Every structure is written in C-alpha cells, then in structure tokens.
Amino acid sequence: MSGTRRRARRVADAEKAAAAAAFLEGQEITRTQCVQCYSEIAGVNGRYACGNCGWVNPWTEGHKPLPTAEDDVQARECAQG
C-alpha cells in the first residue's frame, strides 16, 4: 500500500472515529425495573428491552428523539455508490 493510500485511510478512520465519538456523546445509559418481570434493566436514552422476559418499552418513551434517515451517514454512503 502506498504512503498516500495509508494517509487517506488514516484520515477516513479519524473521521469515522470523530463521528462515532460525537454520536456517543449524546447517548446516556439509563436503568429501570422491567414492568413485566421486575428485573433491573439498562437501556440507552430511556429505551429498554428486557433480556429476561422480552418486554420492550414503546420507542416514544425515550428521553431523546431517535435519529432520522438523514442522520444515517452509512446509508447515504451506500446509496451513493
């Protein structure tokens, strides 16, 4: 692999890492009790799924809005080529 290709890959990797870090900054690990089996469960931004009994809370109960299709960078890259 040539030096130019390695630099290009490092830049792309750094951009992906920065985008991932920005995304993760907006995420919050939250905990609650399952309303069905009373196990303690953890979720992201108030959205939960119990691994014990399968209960899932409605997506509208989350603390923050879900990302839109326009926010999905990977999907846009795939659509372009």
At 18-28, the pLDDT tens digits run: 888 887 887 88
Query: In which residue are the tokens 């009373």 written?
Result: 38
The encoded tokens of residue 38 equal 């009373």
Query: Which amino acid appears at position 16 of this protein?
Result: K
Q: What average pLDDT does the chain have?
A: 81
Whole-number pLDDT of residue 63: 80
For residue 66, is pLDDT > 80? no
Q: What is the per-residue pLDDT across 33-65, written as a single tens digit (0 to 9) for each? A: 999 999 999 999 999 999 999 999 998 888 878
Nearest to 30 by CA among 39, 41, 16, 19: 41
For residue 7, is pLDDT > 70? no
Alpha helix stretches (DSSP H) within 1-81: 3-25, 73-80
